[in-house]
Amino acid sequence: MAELPFQRLVEEDEAMSKVADEKWGDEHAYFSQPAMNVPADASWLSVVGFYLFLPLNLGMALLTTFLDPMFRWVASLAQFSTMHGRPLWMCWAWWWYQVAGALQLIARSGGSRFTLFSRSRAIFGGGDWWWHGEGAWSCPYAGVRATMASEQQRRPAFGAVATAVPELFPAEILLFLDGPKWKASRQVLVDTLTAPSNWASRVAALPDVLAAFKPTPCSLATLDKPTSDRMVAAAVWFLLFGVQLTPEQATTVAQWGASGMAGYFVFPRLIHRIAFNLLLKKVTTLRKDTLAVFTAHGLRPLAAKMNDALGPHRRPSSLALADELMYAVNFAGVGGTQHACWGTLQFLQRKTVDVKQAAVVFPPESVSLVEMYVAHPDNFITECVRLDAPVTSATCAFASTTTVAYNNACCGAPAEHSLPAGTLHQYVLSIANRDPAHFDKADVFDPSRSNLKDMIGWNGALSKPADYPRICPGQAMSVAIIQAVVGLAEEVQQVGRSA
């Protein structure tokens, strides 16, 4: 009896799945890898010392938080320690400094990253540069744009602080790579997933996909943050992988955003260890749960295919590549789009997300923001991202010795600092996008501004995207998802019908 075509397809599919499972690797071994690049001041011995002197450390951390001259002095100690390899004998400075840094964000900045960065800039003299963590930070538009257009050197660091790898981040995610390995990994991502030819045909089906998460009635008021976040998660996975997440799976994937566990990613290894790695373990559980969603939708063969396409840069297992891919898809793609989508929904109601309400000047009440959105949704979204950035800053490293100026003394004036090649450099998009030297009335919400596309978001300026090697390959997808979610609101639909 002749073999039927569908039987042959089933057998081929089963063979591919078997090969993909063999290439997947051992999950227990993968998540049990030893910590890499642990500075002495973040060792467990340092943590023991922190708790032995806990009352003193908490008192000094509080003083460091609320006394700006002391914060500058402790930051100068951290800079000295960084330049000398972060020796154990200086661990006390990091005990005060990293706890004070967290309190600066929570207690003095109300959880706003934009406010924290602006405050830090003022503390160090209000100039173009300041020191935070293990690196120098800069914010003028011209300099930030030039850095983003360069071939940036990268390493495992987040927020200008060396991060915990492989416990918190895989060591080879795109965020940390540069050179040939980064280019090869990015190209495989683009060719396989983010090129419009791979996902654009699915956009028309998004309203049906999102219907499972739609509130009744569906308005700007009822599209709350958890609902918006789940919708974005489901939309990203549908467009990239062609799969439909269940509500439970969407809730899991949505946890990669700011309303979930994204805040834990910014903590340095010392803070995680002071917390006995409890927060880090939550992130590990999220990674495992997300990989389970990936596997449940039969995507292991895709990971094996992408890993094989890397050639000499392939990872030891397709599990390793899949875990890295989940950071690109969920930490960057889902988390970034969640913020931009929620920001757009909030701006339509004259509210903000990360920045304080007073930091944005909205049009007069007589101007309908919904009508403004319907007229030019792309511009509206872009202006929202300019004023309330999903990605507020990014980390690279100086390629050569660089001299910068800021005040890091307890008392005194700004002084020049010669920083060697390899020193971390954090460039601040959220402040650069409000630089009055480039944007007229920079705090005013104006989607019609003539140089709107000069806004630096999605890792580059949309006015000249080809100039930016790291520009987000999913930018158009992100905007399409935001439009799909916002388009479900009854107010938007009503204006659209009458337009």
pLDDT, mean of residues 68-72: 95
Q: What percent of the chain has pLDDT over 70?
A: 97
Phi-psi region of 25 (alpha: psi -120 to 50; beta: other; left: phi over 0): left
State whether residue 344 is helix, strand or coil. Answer: helix
Bridge partners, residue 461, by sequence: 456
Q: What are the sequence ranges of the domains in the chain?
A: 8-37+109-498
Phi, psi of 35 (to 5 degrees): -65, 145
Which one has a higher pLDDT value, 15 or 416?
416
Phi, psi of 257 (to 5 degrees): -90, -175
pLDDT, mean of residues 315-329: 97
Q: What percent of the chain has pLDDT over 90?
A: 92
At the topology level, CATH places domain 8-37+109-498 in: Cytochrome p450 (1.10.630)
* Predicted local distance difference test score (pLDDT) of residue 412: 75
pLDDT, mean of residues 65-88: 96
* Predicted local distance difference test score (pLDDT) of residue 10: 41
* Predicted local distance difference test score (pLDDT) of residue 332: 94
Does this model's pTM top 0.85?
yes
For residue 324, the one-letter residue type is E
Evaluate if residue 463 carries a pLDDT over 90.
Answer: yes
Q: How long a stretch of residues is the chain? A: 499
Pair of tokens at residue 468: 């930016």
Alpha-carbon distance 444 to 432, whole Å?
A: 15
* Predicted local distance difference test score (pLDDT) of residue 381: 98
Evaluate if residue 477 carries a pLDDT over 50.
Answer: yes
Alpha-carbon distance 394 to 251, whole Å?
A: 27
Pair of tokens at residue 392: 């507020």
